[in-house]
Amino acid sequence: MRAAAARQPATEPAYGWWQQRLRQAVRPEFAGELIRLDVDNPVFARGRCRVDGCERGAWSRLLCPGHYTRWRQQGQPDMVSFAASTGPLLGKAGWDLADTFDLRSLPLPARLEVAFIIQCYHDDRAVRLLPGMVRALVRLLAAARVGSLFDKPLDQWLADERGRGAHRDRVRGILRYGWRHLSDLAGGVDAESEFAADIWRAAVLGIPSRGIGQIRFDGIGQLWLREAAKRWARFRLSTGKALSSVDIDIRSVRWLSRFLAAHHPRVMRAAALTRPILEHFLSWFSTVGLAGHTTNNHLVCLRGFLEACRRHRWLPGLPTSAAIYLDELPRRPQPLPRFI
């Protein structure tokens, strides 16, 4: 559903409605061709440069890029002495834009798309946005001569960026991040569309989370098994289970999916998931090298999944014998005495 929405902007030559939606979403401080950075914002810098009199944002060694280059050219002297003795960078071409995202080379709506991505980084406050990342993204879009990021599929953008400059891995990250947020904006994301996707994000679903922000179903290769896992996960969330607990539930189903793909690829429907296949899975799972309590947890989760699917008919045709029994669960290892 989200993928279909992501292709919509490219179908209209003038990008009229998409450009209008971007203008509504991008706040005034991010809407210009030159976006001035707030160097005191931890997303855009690590504070101000430690050199006296320099107000630019700091990155490496708490120096701005210009003073960091000067420090290296001088043989990397003592940092305290260098910061106290060196002067500000004056009259050097380009330094007036050092703390600015320059989007002038991009046409609309590509410029607004990049501005919206920068705004999302600012609002999420999760990952730092290095100026070089944005410069590399702008160069990539300008070289492609496209009007919008959606003029090419995400896989093609990632392939184009592979093997480029020093920020190539980070640029691929910003491409994925930006594509996701722009797709949400294009498609009007809501909880139902998120439940239909193969990656559920806690922020979109309005679910509080600690340490984990999403649940992934794309690792379950069998569509019939993936859809049943989604229904089980949604049911578990509705009963108040934590996102981290439901994520562990889905990991157990991923183990079963991996086993079926490797050893029983002909199992293409629930009716073919027989008791002998589950017995084979139990023997195989005991050899994958997981800790004893982890193995026990996954099998308990998988047992609950099969029971729920049978009760709610999420896997039509599932044999009644396709179950994991209590006496088949490995014992949890006994913890050492507390004084040890």
203-234 pLDDT, tens digit per residue, is 778 787 777 888 999 999 999 999 999 999 99
What CA–CA distance (Å, rounded) separates 35 from 5? 28
Cβ 171 vs Cβ 114: under 8 Å: no
What CA–CA distance (Å, rounded) separates 7 from 24? 20
User: What is the pLDDT of the chain when averaged over all its residues?
Assistant: 84
Query: What is the arithmetic mean of pLDDT over 90-109?
Result: 75
- The residues, any chain, with a CB within 8 Å of residue 173's CB and separated by 6 or more, are 127
- What was the pLDDT predicted at 68? 83
**Percentage of residues in the chain having pLDDT higher than 90:** 38
- What was the pLDDT predicted at 10? 42
Residue 221 neighbours by CB distance under 10 Å: 13
pTM over 0.85: no
Of residues 14 and 96, more confidence is placed in 96
> How is residue 216 written in tokens?
């992934």
How does pLDDT run across 266-288, given as a tens digit for each residue? 999 999 999 999 999 999 999 99
172-189 CB burial, b ≥16 within 10 A, e <16: bebbebbbbbbbbbbbeb
Highest mean pLDDT among 20-29, 170-179, 194-203, 309-318: 309-318
How does pLDDT run across 38-61, given as a tens digit for each residue? 877 888 877 788 888 787 878 778
- What was the pLDDT predicted at 165? 53
Query: What is the arithmetic mean of pLDDT over 318-340?
Result: 79
129-143 CB burial, b ≥16 within 10 A, e <16: bbbebbebbbebbee
**Percentage of residues in the chain having pLDDT higher than 70:** 88
Residue 299 neighbours by CB distance under 10 Å: 20
Q: What's 143's DSSP letter?
A: H
Of residues 111 and 3, more confidence is placed in 111
- What was the pLDDT predicted at 38? 81
